Chains A and B, each alone.
Chain A
Amino acid sequence: MEKVIIIRYAEIHLKGKNRGYFERVFSVNLERALKGIRHELHRTSGRYLVAGYTEEREEEIMERISCVFGVHSYSSALVVPSDMEHVYEAVKTVAPTCGTFKVDTHRADKKYPLTSMQINAEIGGRLLSDFKSLKVNVHEPQSHVFIDVRENGTALVFGKFVDGAGGMPVGTSGKGLLLISGGIDSPVAGYMLAKRGMTVEYLHFHSYPYTNEQAKEKVVELARELSRYAGTMKIATASVTHIQEEIHAKCAPELNVTLLRRFMFRIAERVARKQGDKCLITGESLGQVASQTIEGITSSNAVVTLPVLRPLIGFDKNEIIVRAKKIGTYDTSVLPFEDCCTVFLPDFPAIKPKLSFIEEEESKLDVEGLVEEAVAGLEQIAL
């Protein structure tokens, strides 16, 4: 009995005339996820089948598929000739031996001598006579047996549906640039937009020597973890050391963070335009820290024209943590290397900075020169 993995996709079927495009991107993403493992990928009506792999790698394949956006669900299944004897042999390996069950048949081959209901009855009957502790319950069964009779004379037999990552294939919603720190939030923000089909690229700001190399390595590791979902294989890093020193030397201390964020947004926009990213993405959540008030957000938005997407804006910290744990970035995020050195942090940051005051303070700096300098020093790291 050959094993295959059935992959069902999520929203692609809603996409009307664009469906072909979505399916092509989806299959490219699946192939990329399975790179390095011998397999064949077949498209059949409304789903994909992974076949031709060695059984010991099945778990790894399933794990990788679980990270591909656009997957609604997937199942490990057996492929057998569609006659009742073969089908029942396969059913016996996936069916329970006790408790309640239900047989659920889907028949694509309309010429098959038995109807779906008849197949359910036949297979169910055989199971009941072979396993005395089994009982049928069609409303709330403890276990399922699924049979898919296909048009090519074979049938797929499987026991369960595993939920996929959902969302849309990465690459079908354009490219965005994620401002990634070493914290918990930004990787989750990147994940959420990748889930909606966006190719997420990364930009990280550091202030070496005020921050250390470990902080940078931590961010690289976070980007690597996120890449299991987002597919991007490089991260850009920019130094804001000189900018922080200048702000510290010349501007009102309470605006330290506000001004730095405006610089970060300006640099990010330049990088985004150069790389073809259509938006900036941040992990901001309203009111979480002093710079994430609506006034803080307004001040950052004022210096860029690209849209800034903030998928976590309405989330509580706890909700973000739950997601970070699920994605697998949480443990790295909480490592004790800070990406923002506390030497520059003011004792009392401005919570509701006025734009006119910000602009007045900023005018003391060579904004263009500092942004240019940071962009020129951009470093690309392969993941």
Chain B
Amino acid sequence: MIYLDSAATTRPNETAIARANKFITEEYFNPSARYGGGASVHAEIERAREFLTAQIASCDKFSLVFTSCGTEADNQAVFTAGKRGNAVTDGGEHSAVFKSFIELKNRGVEPRFAPVLKDGRVDGDALLSLVDEKTSLVSIVHVNNETGAVNDINELACRVKAKNPRTVFHSDGVQAYGKIPVRLTENVDLYSLSAHKIGGLKGTGALIRRKKFPLQAFLFGGGQEGELRSGTENTYGIAVFRYAAEQKFRTLAEDAKRLLCYRELLFDRLDKELFARISPNDGSPYILTVSASGMRGEVLQRMLWEKGVAVGTGSACSSKKPHSRILESCGYGKEMLDGVLRVSFCSETKEEEVLHCAEAMNAVASEYKKKLG
């Protein structure tokens, strides 16, 4: 099978799994245990924490809390910071942030949604105009998970802080970490990660925070993670995350360069009579979103699956399910929204897979058009 749905989840990194295996078979001790074994596992977690933080931020200024997933990290960020006044985000957010903002309304905080541009980036000026002296939180996704558009979060954070220094700035970095080069400035208070988008395992996430930022706990118990996230640490998941990240960051620049070529190669090979481009040219090299306008993306997706190619989609073939909220907010019409397919890469993606995928996409779309056109 050709797997090109890595923005949904990546195939776990086998080397990382093999290296971390000892935390299941031998060093299975509770990191809180006071004997040697416990201490050594605890030290391993601390090393992972430092390593994962250091890849995108200064360890003097930032630290990291392990969570069970990116969604948990986003929730902890939004509900810690969104306590009063209003909170600003945009239509291009992952549901983990978007739905948390909807929930803020029930908690007496006014959610404000900035418009997004056609490519999926937030409209910076419009965002700024929504920030005022009562804004407690701004949350902007780093890489839009449906179009691959990249927001310049350091710059946005800087502008937000200039307007209201007390506003907390959070960014969901799930599709960016290990893929897009970035160094967090101190204007960014919180940044969410997920392991399974870079070869780690599902069930492991993290929230990077500025050290001075007063993060609030939502799980209480044994006081792990400096009282910020109780619950016995997922040592194995954390270790896989760290080893997978080691590999990912080592090849970050060359992967980005190569995958950018693949992304353009893929689009180049697609039949332009059938597919229109949604992803911006300057977006993430890992994501190419297109639309077979007038067709059903979900049906094409299953036809591709039958041909041994797995890709993502933006909508569901169902009248009960609306179209992709994110792409709808980019301003696309029904015909385009119906036909969305998202092809997403990982470090291991090969050129022949990309070529094969383009061929299969052309084939299923013309078959569809022939049968239903």
Contacts and interface: CB of A to CB of B under 8 A. Distances in A.
Interface of A: 208-212, 245, 248-249, 336-338, 341-344
Interface stretch (B51-59, B180-188, B313-321): B313-321
B303 interface: yes
Nearest to B321: A336
A209 B371 CA distance: 13
A259 to B, nearest CB: 16
Contacts of B318: 336-338, 342
A336 B318 CA distance: 7
Given A341-B299, A343-B299, A212 B317 contact: yes
Nearest to A207: B299
A341 B317 CA distance: 7
B371 A338 contact: no
A249 B371 contact: yes
B317 A211 contact: yes
Given A338-B317, A343-B296, A212 B302 contact: yes
Contacts of B299: 209-210, 341, 343
Contact of B317 (A248, A249, A342): A342
A208 B305 CA distance: 12
Contacts of A209: 299, 302-303, 305-306
A343 B317 contact: yes
Nearest to B298: A212
- 6 A-B pairs with least C-beta separation: A209-B302, A336-B320, A245-B371, A209-B303, A338-B318, A210-B299
Nearest to B317: A341
Contacts of A210: 296, 299, 317
A334 to B, nearest CB: 9
Nearest to B320: A336
Interface in B272-329: 296, 298-299, 302-303, 305-306, 316-321
Nearest to A337: B318
Given A209-B306, A336-B316, 12 more contacts: A209-B299, A210-B299, A212-B317, A248-B371, A336-B321, A337-B318, A338-B317, A341-B296, A341-B299, A342-B317, A342-B319, A343-B296
B1 interface: no
Contacts of A208: 302
B18 interface: no
A248 B318 CA distance: 19
Interface of B: 296, 298-299, 302-303, 305-306, 316-321, 371-372
Contacts of B298: 212
Contacts of A338: 317-320
B303 A248 contact: no
A248 B321 CA distance: 24
27 contacts: A208-B302, A209-B299, A209-B302, A209-B303, A209-B305, A209-B306, A210-B317, A211-B317, A212-B298, A212-B302, A212-B317, A245-B371, A248-B371, A336-B316, A336-B320, A337-B318, A338-B317, A338-B319, A338-B320, A341-B296, A341-B299, A342-B317, A342-B318, A342-B319, A343-B296, A343-B317, A343-B372
A336 B321 CA distance: 7
B205 to A, nearest CB: 26
A209 B245 CA distance: 37
Contacts of A336: 316, 318, 320-321
A147 to B, nearest CB: 55
B320 to A, nearest CB: 4
A344 B296 CA distance: 11
Contacts of A249: 371
B167 to A, nearest CB: 38
A338 B317 CA distance: 8
B314 to A, nearest CB: 15
A210 B303 CA distance: 9
Contacts of B316: 336
A344 B319 CA distance: 13
Contacts of B317: 210-212, 338, 341-343
B358 to A, nearest CB: 19
B337 to A, nearest CB: 14
A248 B302 contact: no
B5 to A, nearest CB: 15
B372 A248 contact: yes
A249 B373 CA distance: 9
A341 B321 CA distance: 13
Contacts of B303: 209
B135 to A, nearest CB: 36
Contacts of A341: 296, 299, 317
Contacts of A245: 371-372
Contacts of A211: 317
A182 to B, nearest CB: 11
Nearest to B300: A209
Contacts of A337: 318
A252 to B, nearest CB: 16
A153 B299 CA distance: 71
